[in-house]
Amino acid sequence: MLSQRALVDASGIGNSAIQLVGKQIFFTGGSIALIQNQGAQAGSGINIQASNFLQLSGTSSDGKIPSGIEIETLGETVGDVMVSTKDLSFEGGAAINSKTFTEASASNILLNAFESVEVKGFSFINPTTASIASGVGSYTFNAGTSGKIAINAGQLTALDGGTITSGSFGAGAGGDLIINANRSVELSGFNPILSSPSQVAVGAYKSGNSGNLKIISPEVRLRNGGIIASYTFSSGNAGDITIEAPSFLSITTPVNRSDLSYEFLSGISSYAISPPILIQQVLGLSSEVSGAARSIKIKTERLSLSKGSITVSNLGTGSAGNVDIDANIVSLKNNSSISAATALSDGGNIFIRANNVQLFDSIISASASNPEAAYRLLGIDVTYNLAQTGAGIGGEVTINTKTLFSLGNSAITANAFKGRGGNIWINADAYFFSGDSQVEANSQLGINGAVQINGLAIDPSGATTAPNTVTEIPEIASACQGQSGVAESEFIITGVDRLPLSPNDVPPIKPTWQDNFVSGQVNNNSEEPKLITKKPIQNVEAQGWMEDSYGNVILTAEANSGTPYAALSANLCSEENVSKSTVITPIQQ
C-alpha cells in the first residue's frame, strides 16, 4: 500500500522504468507512481501487476494532489503504462494520466482487468468551484500525439462524474480510445461542482485533430446524464465514434429531476462548438470554430432511447458528420432525438437500417437551421439566433425498415432556414403516422426539399373486431345406422415399438397397425342424417389422439384442433369404407 503522499519516482533523462507486482495494490492519500522523461533516451514505462485488484483513491489532505499513476514526456517518449489485474477501481479524484509537452508522442495506457474497471466520482479542490474527476486520461500539449487508451475488461462503469478521455491541447493529434468489455459498459451520473457528466470522450481544443473512439460490448447503458462524445472547440476535427453492442444500447434520462438546476441528458454526440468563455481565456482560444464534427456509427440488436439523444452537430463553419445506425429494433420515446444539425454549413445525414422503427413523442432530424438542442446534451447553455444562420441545405434522412410507427407528436424532418430543405427517403413494408406526427423537409426562406415514402400505409380505421359470440357445435352425427358382423379395430403399440412417453424419447421406427375388420353386410339407409343424442357403438373415422394414464394412445373421434364440423355423406356407408369409419379403442392391460 502506498499512502499519505507516498512517491515512487523514476524521473530522469531516460531509460526509466517502474514495476510493481503484488496481490492487492493500493494508492491512497495523494500517493503517486511517477516518470518524467526529460532526456533524449526512451524509457521503459510503468508496469503494474496485481493478481487480485488495484485500487487508486483519494487525494492529499489539502485536496491538491490526486492519487494515481503519472507518466510525462518532457523529452523523448517514455514507455507505456501497462496494468494487469482482476479488478481496477478509481475513486475520489484518483487517475492514470499520460501527457506529452514536446514533439514526441505521449505514452499509451493499456489496462487489462478481466473482471471489472470502475471509475467513480471526484475530489474537491474548492467545495464550490473546483474539483478533480476520477479517471483515465491521455493528452498532448504540443506537436506530439497523445497516447492511445485501450481498456479490456469484463465490465466497465463510470459513475458520478468519472471520466475516460483523450484530448489534444496543441497541434498534435489526440490518441484513439478503445474499450472492449465482454459483459457490459455503463456510464451514469455527473459531477455537480463542474457540471460534468460521467463520460467517455475524445476532444480537440486547438489545431490538432481528436482521436477516434470505439466501444465494443454486448450491453451498453447510458443513464442519468452519462455521455459518449467526440468534440472540437477550434480548428481541429472531432473524432469518429463507433459502438458495437450485440445485445442492446440503452440511453435513458429520468423524466423528472427536481434536484437539478439544469438537466443533463444522457446521449452520444459528436459536435463542434465555441467553448465557454472561461476555457477560451485559459487556453487562448478564439470564439470561432472551424473544425468538423465526425460520424457516429452504431450496430446493435436493440437501440432504445428514453429522453436520450444521438447527435452530430456543428455551430461553426464545419460539417456536422453523419449518424449511421444498423439495428433490429430502434425505439425512441419521451422526447428523445436522433439528429444531425448545423448552423452555417449543410446539415448532416442520418441513415437507419432496422426491422422495426418506433417513435413516440420523439424526433429524427437532419436540419441546417437550429442545432441549439444538441448542446443541451452537454449542459452547455447556448443562446442561438436564427438570424445568424447561413444558406446551408438540410441533410438527408434515409430509413429502411420493415415497419415504421410514428406516434404521439413525433416528427421526421430535414428542414433548413435560408438554404434548401433536405430530403427524406423512407422505405418500409408497412408504416403508420398518427394525426399529430409529421414528416417534412421545409425551408423557412428557401426551397422545400423532397419527401418520399415507399410502402403500405396502415389504416387503423379499416380494422374490424370479431363478434363476441360462441358458435354452437353439434354432436357428431352418423349417416350409417349400423352394420352387422363388424368387429372393432384396435391400434396396438407396446414394448420396444411403443409411442414415446415424452418428447425426449426416440420414436418407434416401424409402428404396427392391426386391423380386425370382418366383412359384413351394410344396411341400406335412405334417410337423412340425424343428430344422435345417445351414441351407440359405431364406426367413426379417427380425427385425433390422446394418451391415458398408462401411456396407451387412444384415437378419438374429435380432432385436437381443426374444423369444428364434420361433413356427412351417404357414400361413407358403402362397404369399402366401413373399415375407415371404425371406432378405435385402447388395449386394456
Residue 525: the pLDDT is: 46
CA distances from 288 to 31, 314, 375 (A): 41, 11, 16
The predicted structure's pLDDT at residue 275 = 80
In angstroms, rounded to a whole number, what is the distance separating the alpha carbons of residues 411 and 426? 13
- In angstroms, the Cα distances linking 474 to 212, 368, 403, 481 are 73, 70, 43, 18
Kindly report, residue by residue over 283-339, the tens digit of the pLDDT.
888 878 888 899 999 999 999 999 999 999 888 888 888 999 999 999 999 999 999
Element (H, E) at 282: helix 277-283
Residue spans of the chain under pLDDT 70: 124-131, 194, 255-263, 369-391, 459-589
Phi, psi angle pair for 544, to nearest 5°? -165, -170
Q: In whole angstroms, what is the distance from residue 95 CA to residue 24 CA?
A: 17
Which pLDDT belongs to residue 333?
95
CA–CA separation, 212 vs 175, rounded Å? Answer: 7
In terms of Cα–Cα distance, which of 472, 568, 500, 501 is closest to 528?
568
Half-sphere exposure of 75 (CA within 13 A, CB side): 17
Q: What gap in Å lies between CA 280 and CA 389, rounded to an integer?
A: 23
Residue-level pLDDT at 188? 94
- Which of 542, 533, 521 minimizes the C-alpha distance to 585? 542
pLDDT, one tens digit per residue, over 132-165 is 789 999 999 999 999 999 999 999 999 999 999 9
Helix (H) or strand (E) holding 129: none
pTM, two decimal places: 0.76
In this structure, the dihedral spanned by the alpha carbons of residues 39, 41, 42 and 44, taken in order and rounded to 10 degrees, is -100
